[in-house]
Structure 1
Amino acid sequence: MDNGDRSGAGAGAVGSAGSLGLRVGQAVFSSASLLFMSVGVEFFSYTAFCFLVTIMGLVIPWSCTLAMIDVYSVFVGCPLRVPGVMVIVVVGDCALSIVSFAAACSSAAVIDLLLQLHGSHSSPTFCGRYQLSAMMAFLSWLLMAASATFNLWFVASRW
């Protein structure tokens, strides 16, 4: 119930400082994952790596856009409370969380397979970069899942 309290945005819901921290972390880890994966030219040879690059390319603008909304909400002191917009944010967070987890898992599985083959299909330098990329993707997924949970909790508590 909105009784004029501007601080009731929820711990990690859109429009709070917690959400801003989560969104910045998502953008940083997604960018790092994309950077580590894109440094090697060989990632085009594996579908899982292309999938990871595509998903991280979607997560970055999503997180940056919502981070800008959070910056505005935190500094102006007017958290986002429109139910329709919050539902879109929850659906977007949930969808991107699921596909980023799938991309991170598939990339980690391919990396494990490449390492099991003792580097006969990929150089150890690229495998190390791919491992860092998958790790950053998992960290990005963790923050995105937290954002989705906080926003879902916020929407459910408002209705």
Structure 2
Amino acid sequence: MVRTTASFGTSSSFVLRLGQTLFSSASLLFMCFNDDEDFYAYTTFCYLVTVMGLVTPWSVTLALMEAYSILVKKLPMQATVISVIVAGDFVLSFLSLGGACSTASVAVLLMDAGEKQCDRYKLSATMAFLSSFLSFASTFFNFCLLPSLMSH
């Protein structure tokens, strides 16, 4: 089995998961601690909160699995498990990228209209971008691990 740099069960993959958890939680917190009364009037903001609400538990769960795999060093590498992880990361990375793009675009439009609450929206979109990039990196590294698992 050929292990790539940040494939499942390595310490670098654990760091990727911690980064995903940190950035998705930060994005969620920046959106939730908002005192703007028009927050729910914009679908993109609600969409980003929903997606980050999915990404955060996914990342926490996989970070715990990574930590267990690193500590025990006996977690069996099965192709079906890695396939589910790759598929979940792939879908969630594009969902969070879409939410980040839409939130950033609405924040820019609101800034041009004179809204003063847009700094939190921009920070939340930035954190969502970073989370989606880390998730896509994790998808790529685990996808590179799949062919060696399929041959066994």
Structure 1: give runs of 5+ residues left out of the alignment. 2-7
Query: What is aligned with 2:6?
Result: 12
Tell me the distance in 2 between the aligned counterparts of 1:20 and 1:109.
32
TM-score normalized by structure 2? 0.92
Tell me the distance in 2 between the aligned counterparts of 1:60 and 1:40.
19
| Aligned ranges 1:1-159 → 2 under 5 Å | 1=1, 9-42=3-36, 43-119=39-115, 124=116, 126-159=117-150
**Is the 8 Å Cα contact of residues 27 and 63 (structure 1) preserved in structure 2?**
yes
% of aligned pairs identical?
Answer: 46
Aligned residues between the structures? 148
Instruction: For residue 30 of structure 1, give the secondary structure of its aligned residue in structure 2.
Output: helix
**Is the 8 Å Cα contact of residues 27 and 52 (structure 2) preserved in structure 1?**
yes
- Per-residue deviation, residues 51-110 of structure 1 (Å, max 9, x unmatched): 000000000000000000000011111244111111000000000011010000000010
Q: CA RMSD in A?
A: 1.3
**Is the 8 Å Cα contact of residues 15 and 78 (structure 1) preserved in structure 2?**
no
Tell me the distance in 1 between the aligned counterparts of 2:42 and 2:147.
40
TM-score normalized by structure 1? 0.88
How far residue 14 of structure 1 moved from its aligned partner, in angstroms, is 1.5
Tell me the distance in 2 between the aligned counterparts of 1:80 and 1:9.
13
**Is the 8 Å Cα contact of residues 77 and 149 (structure 2) preserved in structure 1?**
no
Tell me the distance in 1 between the aligned counterparts of 2:79 and 2:146.
7
Structure 2: give runs of 5+ residues left out of the alignment. none
